[in-house]
Structure 1
Amino acid sequence: MTLHLPFDNSYARLPGVFYARLDPTPVKAPGLLAFNTALAAELGVSPGEALEQAQVFSGNAVPEGAEPLAQLYAGHQFGNWNPQLGDGRAILLGEVVDGQGRRRDVQLKGSGPTPFSRNGDGRAWLGPVLREYVVSEAMHALGIPTTRALAAVATGEEIRRETWLPGAVLTRVAASHIRVGTFQVFAARGQKDAVQRLTHYTIDRHYPEADGPRGLLVAVARAQAELVAAWMSVGFIHGVMNTDNCALSGETIDYGPCAFLDRFHPMRVYSSIDRMGRYAYGNQPNIAVWNVAQLATALITLADDQDAAVEEYTQIVQGMGETLRAAWLRRFRAKLGLSREEPGDAALIGDLMDRMAENQADFTNTFRALATGAARDQFLDPAAFDEWEAGWRRRLEGEPDPEVVMRAANPAFIPRNHRMEEMIAAAVAGDMAPFERLMSVLARPYEDQSEAADLMRPPTEDEEVPATFCGT
């Protein structure tokens, strides 16, 4: 086999309480749909031939050095506690250390049932696999911490959802798959030794400068604050910010019913399962703080003086709100071309976004057009923009290179929901050209690409995608 992954599997060296060992379930007729050559090179993976890639990344062939396992975790799902979740349709093949010395997980998603499947089939259908492939790589190109996509493979089998759909397997690469829910499951079971072991492991892997559980909590709070501010700045809605989807590494993980805003509204929801709007665009900062509070609750179990730990950890969690607000302001100042800080900046930004919501302005196109003078065209009532613009122009006086700052902060291209649906429909019909085009354009989101101007267009009323769905 010429395909080679240089595995070094530290998670598999942890005690067996953290996972269940098992191989992926083979599929009928694997066929390679996509392979990320650039990421493979970054990981030190020798790519081999397409046939080998299809066999390995479908789960039909376990590569040398892999130690396949499904990880155990729990979590709060839409605020409701579920005491045991775990990888129900994913198997961690192992870890590689990339060219920059970073340890990275290589995981198959849709690779068959595990002991944590809870009566699920353990499979994924083609749509969510390609959605995660495109969106995760687009997020990477946008400069936002994220899991990556290494390969997508068709299984040659159909799986049952609302109807019969073509199956596929995604190979996901992550800094790790350690989640808030990984800590929660052991804390809830009173397994203090496991929480302690997981804390040491996570610090060693992600935050070696952290001093014990308190230092880990501070580092994770900071990372999550920066991550959510980054999401907000590009109009991204995760859609399912459960604690089992909150990675301690600070990466975006689990692209289920996610979406990017078209017309801006702070309480916009796309996720079909978010019926109460818990994870709406504007709620994401509060939920991030709530999730970190659940991590704090798990870490408190390690403290000798738990009353003192509650007081100290509460202050850390409460301080996260200000960290997030500062990160949000920094990113949105840049979106307006502002490099310096002034006291009225938050009000200036908020005023613009209120007017955008009232006038159904497209989020991405409005901010991108600030640099060209065409932003008013995004408003139902252009006068609403004109009234705001006068104050913004005064604020820009003395700012160095505001156009350069704006172009670097405001992408021209995002994975728009209606284009994603078109791409998936084409792929189901056997046409991968729309997928390949999206991948090419979204790899350069901050560049003007006149030949791809159609991908900047918001959906018409008939094209609008009102809801996105989880792949299960």
Structure 2
Amino acid sequence: RVAASHIRVGTFQYAAIDGGPTLVRRLADHAIQRHHPHAADAENRYLGFLESVIDTQASLVARWMLVGFVHGVMNTDNMAISGETIDYGPCAFMDAFDPATVFSSIDHGGRYAFGNQPAIAQWNLSRLAEALLPVVADDTDTAISAVTELLQRFPERFERHWRAGMRAKLGLTQADDLTDALIDDLLTLLYERTVDYSSSFRALSASLRAGAATARSPFDEPAAFDAWTQRWRAQLAHEGSDPHRVASAMDRVNPLYIPRNHRVEEALGAATDGDLAPFRRLLDALTRPFDERPGLASYAGPASTSWGRTYRTFCGT
């Protein structure tokens, strides 16, 4: 395991139980120095630290979800203070868009489902805030009020990061109600028609180069998608965007190759039998996920819908 450090939310919980405020203060000071040095200049360095971690996690989870990533086991011991993705044993990437997507074999209630990840991140951050209470202020009520105010900002911060990323995925630059509606309505279409998430955005960029018909391919009901496409193209025209430049920009943020679950299983199975060729091909595709290359077309598409519905991951995979 490689990371900037292995200080986690759970580390602070353990310090609070085992060493009390003195150990929490030492740990927080170390984390500030190592990962969030600007927090030392805040009026209250521990509130500054918490605020920085909140924003870092909001950005991280937004970036996960922009590429369809499901961590799978987001407990407090798997949330790094540095804002890096760690301990994602049962992780997987979503094929068909569905906020309720769960892969982990032990997540029977969907606690860590794709769409629940922001709420779980906020819950974890609340546990960090609890551990920091004694060093934030001597008066408990004052400390609770201060950290609560920061925690309540998490949804807005996540939304800001996520919507900025979604606009980039669609080649849009303006942040307004029209672009928000385009984002929300597209996701509704993908969900209602069980459409692959990742390849849809590449189909859209292809449509800008070759005409609207190529963007129909992921959808069973093209007419419903055509109405959305007209609105999207109208917004791009309103923004004065050149279609080919937009398509290129979209391809730089929308991966063509992701670790498709059926390809991961194929590589694992072959490697178990002593054949590393499928693993090497998969690794080659994923090393440059945005660049279309000859011979890798089979790595760009999803598995069958029935296969995806039954796929489960396990800790240790």
The TM-score with structure 2 as length reference comes to 0.91
Q: Does 1:251 align with 2:84?
A: yes
How far apart are the structure 1 equivalents of 2:87 and 2:226?
Answer: 40
Q: Can you list the C-alpha shifts for 1:295-337, whole angstroms capped at 9, x where unaligned?
A: 1111112231221111111010111111110000000001110
How far 1:239 sits from its partner (Å)?
Answer: 0.8
How far apart are the structure 2 equivalents of 1:180 and 1:423?
Answer: 34
Q: Residue 231 of structure 1: which of 57, 64, 75 is its match?
A: 64
Q: Describe the SS at the equivalent of 1:210.
A: helix
How far 1:399 sits from its partner (Å)?
Answer: 2.8
Q: Residue 431 of structure 1: which of 257, 272, 275 is its match?
A: 275
Task: Tell me which protein shows more strand as a share of its residues.
Answer: 1
Q: Can you list the C-alpha shifts for 1:325-356, whole angstroms capped at 9, x where unaligned?
A: 00000000011101222222222101000110
Q: Residue 231 of structure 2: which of 372, 386, 391 is its match?
A: 391
Aligned position for 2:314: 469
For the 8 Å contact 1:180–1:247, the answer to whether it is kept is yes
Q: Describe the SS at the equivalent of 2:296.
A: helix
The TM-score with structure 1 as length reference comes to 0.62
How far 1:179 sits from its partner (Å)?
Answer: 0.4
Distance 1:384 1:306, change over 3 A: same
How far apart are the structure 1 equivalents of 2:241 and 2:113?
Answer: 33
How far apart are the structure 1 equivalents of 2:258 and 2:84?
Answer: 18
Q: Residue 375 of structure 1: which of 195, 210, 215 is its match?
A: 215
How far apart are the structure 2 equivalents of 1:272 and 1:380?
Answer: 30
Aligned position for 2:38: 209
Identity %: 50
Letter in 1 for 2:241: E
Q: Does 1:307 align with 2:141?
A: yes
For the 8 Å contact 2:71–2:90, the answer to whether it is kept is yes
**What is the correspondence of 1:36-435 to structure 2 with a 5 Å cutoff?**
172-189=1-18, 191-211=20-40, 212-302=45-135, 303-373=137-207, 374-397=214-237, 398-399=240-241, 401-435=245-279
How far apart are the structure 1 equivalents of 2:299 and 2:128?
Answer: 40
How far apart are the structure 2 equivalents of 1:262 and 1:272?
Answer: 17
How far apart are the structure 2 equivalents of 1:241 and 1:353?
Answer: 24
For the 8 Å contact 2:134–2:143, the answer to whether it is kept is no
How far 1:188 sits from its partner (Å)?
Answer: 2.7
How far apart are the structure 1 equivalents of 2:60 and 2:261?
Answer: 21
Unmatched tracts of structure 1, length 5 or more: 1-171
Letter in 1 for 2:234: R
Letter in 2 for 1:316: L
How far 1:463 sits from its partner (Å)?
Answer: 4.6
Unmatched tracts of structure 2, length 5 or more: 208-213
Distance 1:289 1:204, change over 3 A: same
Aligned position for 1:90: none
Q: Can you list the C-alpha shifts for 1:24-75, whole angstroms capped at 9, x where unaligned?
A: xxxxxxxxxxxxxxxxxxxxxxxxxxxxxxxxxxxxxxxxxxxxxxxxxxxx
CA RMSD of aligned residues (A): 1.4
How far apart are the structure 2 equivalents of 1:463 and 1:441?
Answer: 22
How far 1:450 sits from its partner (Å)?
Answer: 2.6
How far apart are the structure 2 equivalents of 1:399 and 1:391?
Answer: 14
For the 8 Å contact 1:339–1:399, the answer to whether it is kept is no
Distance 1:462 1:328, change over 3 A: closer
Aligned position for 2:211: none
Task: Tell me which protein shows more helix as a share of its residues.
Answer: 2
For the 8 Å contact 1:270–1:466, the answer to whether it is kept is yes
How far apart are the structure 1 equivalents of 2:187 and 2:88?
Answer: 26
Q: Can you list the C-alpha shifts for 1:375-424, whole angstroms capped at 9, x where unaligned?
A: 32111212221121111111111135321221111110000111001111
How far apart are the structure 1 equivalents of 2:7 and 2:96?
Answer: 34
Higher relative contact order (CA 8 A, sep 6+): 2
Q: Can you list the C-alpha shifts for 1:205-230, whole angstroms capped at 9, x where unaligned?
A: 10111132111101100100000110
For the 8 Å contact 2:28–2:46, the answer to whether it is kept is yes
Q: Describe the SS at the equivalent of 1:205.
A: helix
How far 1:173 sits from its partner (Å)?
Answer: 1.1
Q: Can you list the C-alpha shifts for 1:137-185, whole angstroms capped at 9, x where unaligned?
A: xxxxxxxxxxxxxxxxxxxxxxxxxxxxxxxxxxx21111110000001
How far apart are the structure 1 equivalents of 2:80 and 2:19?
Answer: 22
Number of matched residues?
Answer: 301
Distance 1:461 1:222, change over 3 A: closer
